[in-house]
Amino acid sequence: MENFLEKIKESIQTKINEIENWQKREARYIDADNYQYKEKWQDFKLGQNWSEEEEITTFFKTKITLPDSIKENEKLVLHIETGGEAALYLNNELIQGLDRNHAYVTLNNKEYLGKEVELFIKAALDRINKIYVPDPNYEHKLSTAELIVINKKAEDFYYNIISLIELINTLNDREQKAKATEMKNIFEQIKNQYYIQAGTQIDYEYLNSQFEYRLEYSIDF
């Protein structure tokens, strides 16, 4: 089941471009919106580490040009992993917080399409993974910054399959073997429908409809 999930996941997103070139600036936090800057803006490359000092805030900025258009069943997303706790701004507008559990930012505003925009990140120490529950493998690194397009119907199918797997596991835990077997059969039927389309463009709308249909007419819970 996990292998099938990974196969679906591969088709959910398409990378448009990696955002490699940034500028970085460090400052000592004084109070709200008040900083003592330690340096001028410096060139910074994707993959480099940045400060883990508790009182230091690190700022990143760059400019990118967004695609002219996206399809109706797609969404434009920024995938950014800083290694710390951060906030992302687009053209000086706060868009979303960033941390290890929130690394994908959907760009809903279509007025930005086809235009150059400025990305600005305000990043600080990840206290959970550095102080409260230290993770020796976790580091402050701008490891990922990319612009991607996500196929919404493929994403829906991915989460449908996750929910079905979780249901099967729950039924097994409750020793409801007959119901678990029926759900496994539905899983196999849907998986087979997926692989029948292998080598062509996967029709996720059809697969999602099959998922809904088969669950609707399955056994009564």
Assess whether pLDDT exceeds 60 at residue 199: yes
Domain span at residue 208? 2-8+153-216
Q: Is 221 a member of any domain?
A: no
CATH number at residue 78: 2.60.120.260
Assess whether pLDDT exceeds 70 at residue 1: yes
- Indicate whether 145 and 199 sit together in one domain: no
Q: Is 101 a member of any domain?
A: yes
- Indicate whether 68 and 174 sit together in one domain: no
14-53 per-position pLDDT tens digit: 999 999 999 999 999 888 778 999 999 999 999 999 998 8
- Indicate whether 108 and 207 sit together in one domain: no
- Indicate whether 89 and 171 sit together in one domain: no
Residue 103 banded pLDDT, cuts 50, 70, 90: very high
Q: 3-class secondary structure for the chain?
A: CHHHHHHHHHCCEEEEEECCEEEEEEEEEEECCEEEECCCCEEEECCCECCCCCCEEEEEEEEEECCCCCCCCEEEEEEEECCCEEEEEECCEEEEEEECCECEEECCCHHHCCCEEEEEEEEECCHHHHHHCCCCCCCCECCEEEEEEEEHHHHHHHHHHHHHHHHHHHHHHCCCHHHHHHHHHHHHHHHHHHHHCCCCCCCHHHHHHHHHHHHHCCCCC
The pTM (predicted TM-score) of the whole model is 0.83
Residue 218 banded pLDDT, cuts 50, 70, 90: confident
